[in-house]
A = this chain, B = another copy of it.
Amino acid sequence: MSYRFEAGRIYRMPTHFGPAPGPRQMPDGVTRDPKRSPRRLSVAASFLTDPVLLEQHLPDGFTLAGEPVVTVEFHHMTDIDWLAGRGYTMIWVSWPVTFRGQRDRATGKFLAVVWENLADPIITGRDEIGHPKLYAEIAEPRRWNGAQICTAGWMGFRFLELEVSQLQDADPHRQATASDGTLMLKYTPRTGAWGETEVCQVTLTPAADPDNHIEQRQTGVGTVRFHKAGWSELPTLHHVVNALAALPVVEARGGTVTLSRGGKSYRDQRVLT
């Protein structure tokens, strides 16, 4: 007898061994404390760039919202509940947009690309959330000479450097900009019919994250550098990295270093139409 999918349970490939454990589906008997997990060191820097170039990387239905400011964030996470206390690091590249769909409209952060140094959350994020996650080797952020230094590469080719220096303590509870949340495009190609689309959906992470508590926040001078690569150096990433490297830094817009705890599982992720 072949198996049946259990109703109401999340599956991922391979589906043949039961529902898939992950951030949005913990095993029975394992309790989580979203106020404590994960612990997160976030290092971010922003820069003003050319709006015309930036728009070329927006899907249909999206427009820039306000200034064309690109933000790159490293999130070094530990104490992750769904990994039984292990950690990993993610990099977010985003800019502010408005999405106007047939029914929905939302303004917030457009998550253009994510890099992570662990394959497991790449798989869960791409499949369940629509996170545009790719793999990178990411060093744990290091503090040296009063600066927080972050780097990322692939097979030994360093393609991203971010630094926040001249750090000063800041109010951890500053008012965030009004936002509907984080927007992204979930996409799956069609097998066999090459060039056709199987899934193409705008998905939204609503802004609210009530269990996330900021413990410490510093601001400083931020610098971001993407390094252009040949195809032979980054055969799966060069189109992404080179597009970002081609964005001019018209003006630096500062950086932050934030220490926080807790957060949601993205079970509130939803499709916009």
Contact = CB atoms under 8 A, between A and B. Distances in A.
A156 B155 contact: no
A149 B156 CA distance: 13
A175 interface: no
Interface string A10-21: 111111111111
Given A27-B231, A55-B1, A231-B30, A127 B84 contact: no
Residue among A82, A83, A130 with the highest chain B CB neighbour number at 10 A: A83
A271 to B, nearest CB: 5
Contact of A3 (B7, B58, B132): B58
Contact of A231 (B21, B24, B119): B21
Contacts of A151: 156
Contacts of A74: none
A201 interface: yes
B144 A113 contact: no
A133 B13 contact: yes
Interface in A230-270: 231-233, 235-236, 238-240, 243-244, 267, 269-270
Size class of the contact patch on chain A: 35 or more
Nearest to A113: B14
Contacts of A203: 191-192
B191 A113 contact: no
Nearest to A29: B231
A157 B145 CA distance: 19
Given A86-B155, A189-B12, A240 B130 contact: no
A198 B151 CA distance: 36
A126 interface: yes
A144 B36 CA distance: 12
Contacts of A186: 13, 191
A239 B20 contact: yes
Contacts of A18: 239, 243
A192 B269 CA distance: 5
Given A16-B59, A139-B155, A189 B236 contact: no
B62 A2 contact: yes
A271 B189 CA distance: 12
B16 A58 contact: yes
A124 B235 CA distance: 13
A221 interface: no
19 contacts: A1-B55, A2-B62, A8-B194, A13-B126, A13-B185, A15-B59, A15-B185, A15-B187, A16-B112, A21-B231, A21-B238, A119-B134, A120-B134, A122-B122, A128-B191, A144-B232, A153-B156, A191-B269, A192-B269
